[in-house]
Chain A
């Protein structure tokens, strides 16, 4: 064997691959699980509040999402992807948005829409144009509107606060009807709503954790909230007797969970600075527009979908690469 042959032969079986030879150890699994951990305070709060039915919905939703993902892995004969935690995360977020009494078939259908239609049909993780969970909720809302009538759904509960879905009350009866809700109460979850969507403080803490750890893009959360605040503020100034104030809008409905957990979904949101700001602010403003002058009770879901839709266009606004002229 000549030296050159020895140099090319693999007789020592060294590993040959390409630079860089380091990796920082980050992974999709880590990301998914940390987002789930961050969601935990809000989810646990919901479980304490709504008891067994909430546990049932959360557990069933997570299991269904994993099941759909697994089924799709088998159908498409791809390697198993449930280990990355993304399906479980989808299931968890879905459960957080729905009432504790959601019937089992709606959970099954919703997670099917999220995992199969929202994610897999688009080509799997990273290729989804819309946030799968948001898409699923939107489709359920359109198909079975009553499922999301929280007042109706949670009729049998009697907790120690006003048993009204705040933004529904606002929509139907105007700002006077919501005077009993103080910001502190809302923040501490003294309102009805989705299993994991009412405990404002918990969601904010989870969100801050994710921002600090770098698992979500703070630019999106912040501009989303600013968008809601600014739009609501302007409406409120314009006619305080018809439109609620900005704090109310931020602490009710899906605003907080939308800002920290939904709008920030990786694949369907932009990554460049200016697009992130426009995307976040756009979703925030749209949310309030839909709530205040649109037909729907809450605007977060549709606002995010619309911004998902324009995201590819937005993300074309990007800084010039080094050395690029003109």
Chain B
């Protein structure tokens, strides 16, 4: 945990660290019994049928989907469907959870391979939407917002997370072919790889510009990369794709490369595991592997009242159970000992200004938080720059009153988002871009 330093005058600096030159060997996780795949769904839609049912045999790489929806998941293993149920995640996000019992032999679904000769955007859309690293395919295929610049991030946004740095160090070849393919199929002419400052590499020509970000958190956040490297500011109401820019992780780019060169859809996710004592290990596991399996392989034991977090310390999400599976965008698992869990308090803001000094987005947080506590979300957005927040979590980290400011901000954005959907019911067609 980062403690307030004795000298409080200079702004606290949280540093991203570089991976050691001698790469740690990631631990291969063998999944013990079953994997669970989460298919994002809309609970309001009931007239749907899943392409598989309990008892069905599934091949590795097989697509599972609802009949009337574009969204799908790719099975990471070969096995038999053991259960299908619905699951509610953070902020009411709803999923259909498909559990698959692993069988002893592996059989690979061959559909994808038929399309790999000539890579195309359609193939990527149809098969690569949930590869490790979470390829933002919906942004790439939207004809209304053509992507001209792709930023491949080799630095993980959160602290203590090394997943993408590792991918760059260990598999630059896949990234290189991924870049070539992405250029080809999307027509984006400007590809930028972003690396942490001081990252040593000998890539040669990989078809992309290479840029570095500062080591002070949250320099690797897309908004700051946009500002510092591309020299452009995203207006608060706009998104990156409005400006023709698409961010993706190095792992996603590598997945694209691996998919088309091997003819198989990649299903193994690289994960940074942050232990209770804040030591860090890397692991590789199939998407859908329960957190429990990873922890037991690494010899990490969980006790009551510990905390299990998907993601890093600043922006991750705590989960209820170690049954929770690894998802395509799970960059890290963090375990926090019950003794190290900071308390929140019910104190009001005392206007100390520490949050304002540290906020990279220059948001008047001490005012904002008062409105958010009162539930006045619209005023918060209009007057106090709610939408400028780049979601770094620094404000909560330093808040003297221990107010969960960041949580308030996310909740407010979520509630406002729901309100705007409710106001425009026609737009609510089921998530994916047509």
Contact = CB atoms under 8 A, between A and B. Distances in A.
Interface of A: 2-28, 31, 79, 84, 123-127, 211-215, 217-218, 266-267, 269, 271-272, 315, 318-325
Given A21-B313, A23-B396, A322 B354 contact: no
Nearest to B291: A7
A125 B366 CA distance: 13
Interface string B312-354: 0111111111111100000000101010011010111111111
A319 B359 CA distance: 12
A93 to B, nearest CB: 16
Nearest to B360: A322
B347 A323 contact: no
B397 A8 contact: no
Contacts of A269: 351
Interface in B365-400: 366-367, 385, 387-388, 390, 393-394, 396-400
Contacts of B183: none
B197 interface: no
Given A11-B321, A322-B362, A2 B99 contact: yes
B356 interface: yes
Given A8-B321, A22-B2, A24-B3, A2 B306 contact: no
Nearest to A211: B9
Contacts of A127: 348
Given A7-B97, A24-B3, A266-B350, A14 B407 contact: no
Contacts of B341: 15, 17, 21
A9 B407 contact: no
Q: Is the interface of B mostly helix, strand, loop or mixed?
A: loop
Contacts of A27: 400, 402
Contact of A267 (B235, B336, B350): B350
B313 A4 contact: no
A258 B338 CA distance: 44
B366 to A, nearest CB: 6
A211 B223 CA distance: 32
B52 interface: no
A127 B341 CA distance: 29
A2 B97 contact: yes
B390 A322 contact: yes
Given A15-B338, A215-B8, A324-B236, A20 B3 contact: no
B348 A6 contact: no
A21 B351 contact: no
A23 B397 contact: yes
Contact of B348 (A17, A125, A325): A125
Given A3-B34, A4-B86, A217-B353, A14 B347 contact: no
Contacts of B348: 123-127
Interface in B24-66: 34, 36
B192 to A, nearest CB: 20
B21 interface: no
B23 interface: no
**Which 9 residue pairs are nearest across A and B when measured between Cβ atoms?**
A214-B8, A271-B353, A23-B342, A321-B385, A20-B393, A321-B388, A4-B85, A4-B87, A18-B407
Contact of A218 (B9, B313, B407): B9
A323 B233 contact: yes
Contacts of B311: 19
A22 B352 CA distance: 19
Contact of A21 (B6, B88, B309, B366): B309
B208 to A, nearest CB: 26
Contacts, number: 224
A5 B347 CA distance: 35
Given A2-B99, A18-B407, A21-B334, A9 B320 contact: yes
Interface of B: 1-4, 6-9, 12, 34, 36, 83, 85-88, 95, 97, 99, 223, 227, 233-236, 238, 302, 304-309, 311, 313-325, 334, 336, 338, 341-342, 344, 346-354, 356, 360-364, 366-367, 385, 387-388, 390, 393-394, 396-402, 404, 406-407, 410
Contacts of A31: 352, 400
B355 to A, nearest CB: 9
A126 B320 contact: no
Contacts of A28: 347, 350, 400-401
B407 A24 contact: no
Contact of A324 (B307, B346, B388): B388
A35 to B, nearest CB: 12
Nearest to A124: B348
A126 B349 contact: yes
20 contacts: A2-B83, A3-B34, A5-B85, A7-B97, A7-B319, A9-B320, A12-B302, A13-B305, A14-B322, A18-B318, A20-B315, A21-B316, A23-B399, A26-B4, A126-B401, A218-B9, A266-B351, A266-B353, A269-B351, A318-B362
Contacts of B227: 322
A7 B401 contact: no
Name the residue among B324, B347, B349 with the largest chain A CB count within 10 angstroms: B347
A212 B320 CA distance: 42
Contact of A26 (B318, B334, B400): B400
B99 A18 contact: no
Contacts of A6: 321, 323
Given A9-B320, A124-B348, A213-B7, A24 B397 contact: yes
Contacts of A15: 305-307, 318, 336, 338, 341
Given A2-B83, A26-B4, A16 B351 contact: no
A3 B36 contact: yes
Contact of A9 (B317, B321, B394): B321
Nearest to A123: B348
